Amino acid sequence: MGYLLACFPYFCILDPPGFHLANFSVPMLLNQGSNFHSKRKNIILGAMVLVGILFLARLFQIQVIDPSYKLSANSNVLRYVTDYPARGLIYDRYGELLVYNEAHYDLMVVPGQVSQIDTTAFCQLLGIEQSLFEERLKKARDYSLFRPSVFESQISKNVFAVFQEKLFRFPGFFVQPRTLRKYTYPMAAHTFGYVGEVGPREIESNPYYQSGDYIGISGIERSYEEELRGKKGVRVRLVDVLNRDIGPFQEGRFDTLAIPGKDLYTTLDAQLQMYGERLMQNKRGSIVAIEPSTGEILALVSSPAYDPNLLVGRVRNQNYGSLQNDTLKPLFNRALMAQYPPGSAFKIVNTLIALQEGVINYQTNYGCGGGYYSGGISVACHSHSSPVNAYRGIQFSCNTFSCITFRQTIDQNKFSNIQEGFNTWRRYVTSFGFGQPFGSDLAHELSGLIPTSDYYDRIYGARGWRSLTVISLAIGQGEVGTTPVQLANLVATMANRGFYYTPHVVRSVAHPDSIQERFKEKHNTLVDQAHFQEIAGAMHDVVRAGTGHFSMIPGISMGGKTGTVQNPHGENHSVFIAFAPVEDPKIAISVVVENAGYGATWAAPIASLMIEKYLNRQIGRGWFEQRILEAKF
């Protein structure tokens, strides 16, 4: 209080009646005590106390309650520089580096420190318009006057070198090093995904992120964002009046170190992935290859594809727009998101269910006269020997056999109504992984569709439909929809003789031997293992002496199933699923080529080439390979 009184020796207050206090000093007034009444002394002393309290309150507000003055003062001498950690690297299954980081620079601004600068020279250095400068500065002010934000991201090394020399001319601006993703090979863009600037929603929901930070947007960059991103550090730097860095604050006592992101060791075979993308050039469709004994995805091809480097750096937004507007939809991940009727590949599932339910056995035979006919419904079949049993029904892909066994399955006397029989059939089907996402590390995976009895009740009424109404499901058509990864999982289940592991694309995090526990769980179907052995033999004969004979691989035993999927919008889709070797399966694969016709003609040859490449590491059928490479759809 004494300090405050010493600083303010004069007061101006309202004059009491008959008395004028203007221009009187406090000491003068006090020394005139004999000339004033004690009441008036008390008034002056009270005023002095009141003013002192007001000044103390104001100082307390400025120094303790309101931090803006302190922040402003600190911002004039201190710069808080975020140390962004290096994002985790990504390797293939053999330890080959696939995704790494390359340095680049962001130009940062603290609006509260920006004073009079030569904006013309500034804009010329960056190659931007004056209007853009003003727009970005306003956006930075709206974000915060005292916190740094990105003014210009990802400036080149050349621009950085020139700008760094003249940075002292532009108070409030500084350069911050960052990293960009780089790719060893122009492949697997859909699997890797891409990294982009964090949006307002992420900033609001997660305190880790601030304006200008990067985040994984798709692929495993998204699925493993927390592992890949690491942890940011902060360096507190002293700057002079010319905005020049003059060293660490208090010898770095308040600095925190950035912690690099964890590396990912994927299940991909880089060479197989590139080969698959090469085979699918000028075609629309997908290839999914799985190691049956682990569920590890060896290749995940979606075609048309794109070079992942296109979505890196300053050109990302422009290239993304071009890719998004491309009528061939290269951004669309067909392997995980395209849904097709499975076609004849689904006959495997229906046959196994019929065997498990006991409505047929391996000696059951049905004649085929070129199709299935019942109640005015006809399902055509191609020419093959007759009669057929479960084994030959798969080998020759007989529609008649599939329709009969499907109806017998859901029309059993033990079921009180069609709904009960259909729901039993559906439980079997979903145990193979259909109709639901796997819940793995594959971002944006869709579930496909296995209709429920309620679905048909809504369409036809509870008493308005029967097995013949949904007979198309017997041959993998109608309302059923599957994704290519689900088809690959089906054949992996066949290779394992009745179970599967969740398909996944990352084997381990941080260390190549730290296998993720969540992918070790075995998923059993509701069909006994014994039935799979017989049907696996039938699939072997599909290739040896059936519809897939053209795609036999010399020296490698392969089991497969062709499929020609009806497409109401154009040419049918060519589908083939396979596993090899039959005795000890190392690879299971699904191939879909859109609008290509018969499964045996195009999808089966592609699958056989992929299997040969994986098992032999080379191709011995040059003419066979050249035919596929030259094909265009």
Question: CB of 214 within 8 A of CB of 86?
Answer: no
DSSP 309-355: GGGSGGGHHHHHHHHHH-TT-TTS-HHHH--B--GGGGHHHHHHHHH
The more confidently predicted of residues 500 and 103 is 500
**Residue closest to 491 by CA, chosen among 347, 339, 340:** 347
Question: CB of 181 within 8 A of CB of 89?
Answer: no
pLDDT band, residue 60 (cuts 50/70/90):
low
pLDDT in tens, 597-611: 999 999 999 999 999
pLDDT in tens, 476-492: 999 999 999 999 999 99
508-535 average pLDDT score: 94
Please tell me the CATH superfamily of domain 77-266, with its number: Penicillin-binding protein 2a (Domain 2) (3.90.1310.10)
Residue 316 has pLDDT above 50, yes or no: yes
- What pLDDT shows up at residue 528? 96
pLDDT band, residue 76 (cuts 50/70/90):
low
Global pTM? 0.83
- What pLDDT shows up at residue 22? 43
- What pLDDT shows up at residue 62? 58
pLDDT band, residue 165 (cuts 50/70/90):
confident
- What pLDDT shows up at residue 7? 43
- What pLDDT shows up at residue 535? 95
- What pLDDT shows up at residue 37? 58
pLDDT in tens, 222-254: 999 999 999 999 888 887 766 666 888 888 888
pLDDT band, residue 578 (cuts 50/70/90):
very high
- What pLDDT shows up at residue 600? 93
DSSP 40-99: HHHHHHHHHHHHHHHHHHHHHIIIII--HHHHHHHHHHEEEEEEPPPPPPEE-TTS-EEE
CA R_g for the chain: 37
Provide the percentage of residues in the chain whose pLDDT is more than 90: 66
- What pLDDT shows up at residue 16? 43
pLDDT in tens, 189-213: 999 999 998 988 999 899 899 887 8
Burial of 444 (0-12, 13-18, 19+ CB in 10 A): middle
Residue 186 has pLDDT above 90, yes or no: yes
- What pLDDT shows up at residue 425? 98
pLDDT band, residue 581 (cuts 50/70/90):
very high
Residue 2 has pLDDT above 70, yes or no: no
- What pLDDT shows up at residue 156? 77
pLDDT in tens, 131-153: 999 999 999 998 888 778 889 88
Residue 42 has pLDDT above 80, yes or no: no
Which residues are within 8 A (CB) of 261 and not within 5 positions of it... i.e. 6 or more apart? Answer: 85, 86, 87, 88, 227, 228, 229, 230
pLDDT in tens, 296-314: 999 999 999 999 999 998 7
pLDDT band, residue 9 (cuts 50/70/90):
very low
- What pLDDT shows up at residue 11? 37
Q: CA–CA separation, 522 vs 533, rounded Å?
A: 18
514-542 average pLDDT score: 95
286-323+333-630 CATH? 3.40.710.10
pLDDT in tens, 337-356: 999 999 999 999 999 999 99
- What pLDDT shows up at residue 244? 65
pLDDT band, residue 504 (cuts 50/70/90):
very high
Task: Provide the pairing of β-strand 233-239 with 245-248.
Answer: antiparallel
